[in-house]
């Protein structure tokens, strides 16, 4: 992947989603590092096909990458992106402890401040990232309350500021991942894991899904899988699902 050290960033006031813009740019042959920052999304996408609209006041950013990696390894960029946005947020309010929730959320102060979505096709990857900057209204049914940078005492960082710092971290992290693989990323992710040693419940969802899987989080696999130890002492490997933390944050 040949990418600049900083994003080639285009700001758009309103769009269906920043990722829609990034995929159109990809189809037009745009290079790695092309990015779109949207002020308001009207039809954003969440994990596993869920819809997600985003009002003004947050950072809604999608970045196009063209990694030189096997398609079977692309999932590693999700962890790279999580670490990158965690570092950018920690630089904004260093007195707070930002933690990573498998597979791709950032938590702080008992709530969720950021979510990511990685999409890949035809050798291109788009990483969509949403961060709460201004205060956010409660979301009915959410597992965790929404937390914003404003809630943490940061009243100066704007979406463009955060996008620029995050972009530098993301591009550097992606280049390092291409060169060194997932192992260093895994170790760094575990340093900031929100649920190491805690009891968790994983809902895999989908038609015909069984009961949630429960156990103690003990590791992150070399393939990105969440590794649990159940009540019978057996290890369970989870490759997709929504994690509910049942221990303290």
pLDDT at 151: 96
Show pLDDT as tens, one digit a residue, over the chain (249 residues): 767 889 999 999 999 999 999 999 999 999 999 999 999 998 866 554 444 446 789 999 999 999 999 999 999 999 999 999 999 999 999 999 999 999 889 999 999 999 999 999 999 999 999 999 999 888 777 888 999 999 999 999 999 999 999 999 999 999 999 999 999 999 999 999 999 989 999 987 654 455 788 999 999 999 999 999 999 999 999 998 888 877 554
Q: Which pLDDT does position 247 carry in this prediction?
A: 58
The pTM for the full model equals 0.93
pLDDT for 233? 95
Give the pLDDT of residue 51: 43
Q: Where are the alpha helices (DSSP H) in the chain?
A: 18-27, 76-92, 159-180, 183-191
The reported pLDDT for the residue numbered 13 is 96
CA 98 – CA 93 distance, rounded (Å): 9
Q: Which residues contact 138 (CB under 8 A, 6 or more apart)?
A: 145, 146
d(CA 234, CA 148) in angstroms, rounded, equals 38
- Rg of the chain over CA atoms, in angstroms? 17
């Amino acid at each position: 992947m040949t990418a600049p050290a900083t994003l080639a960033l285009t700001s758009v006031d309103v769009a269906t989603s920043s990722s829609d813009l990034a995929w159109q740019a990809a189809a037009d042959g745009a290079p790695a590092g092309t990015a779109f920052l949207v002020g308001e999304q009207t039809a954003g996408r969440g994990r596993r096909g869920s819809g997600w609209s985003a009002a003004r006041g947050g950072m809604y950013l999608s970045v196009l990458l063209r990694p030189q990696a096997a398609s079977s390894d692309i999932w590693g960029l999700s962890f790279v992106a999580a670490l990158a946005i965690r570092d950018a947020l920690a630089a904004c309010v260093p007195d707070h402890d930002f933690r990573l929730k498998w597979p791709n959320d950032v938590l702080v102060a008992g709530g969720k401040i950021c979510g990511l979505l990685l999409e890949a096709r035809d050798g291109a990857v788009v990483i969509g990232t949403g961060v709460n900057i201004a205060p956010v209204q409660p979301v009915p049914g959410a597992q965790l309350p929404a937390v914003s940078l404003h809630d943490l005492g940061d009243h100066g960082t704007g979406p463009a500021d955060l996008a620029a710092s995050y972009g530098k971290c993301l591009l550097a992290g992606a280049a390092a991942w291409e060169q060194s693989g997932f192992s260093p990323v895994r170790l760094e992710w575990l340093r900031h894991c929100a649920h190491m040693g805690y009891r968790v419940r994983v809902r895999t969802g989908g038609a015909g899904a069984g009961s949630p899987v429960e156990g103690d989080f003990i590791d992150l696999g070399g393939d990105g899988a969440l590794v649990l130890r159940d009540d019978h002492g057996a290890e369970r490997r989870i490759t997709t699902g929504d994690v509910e933390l049942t221990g303290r944050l």
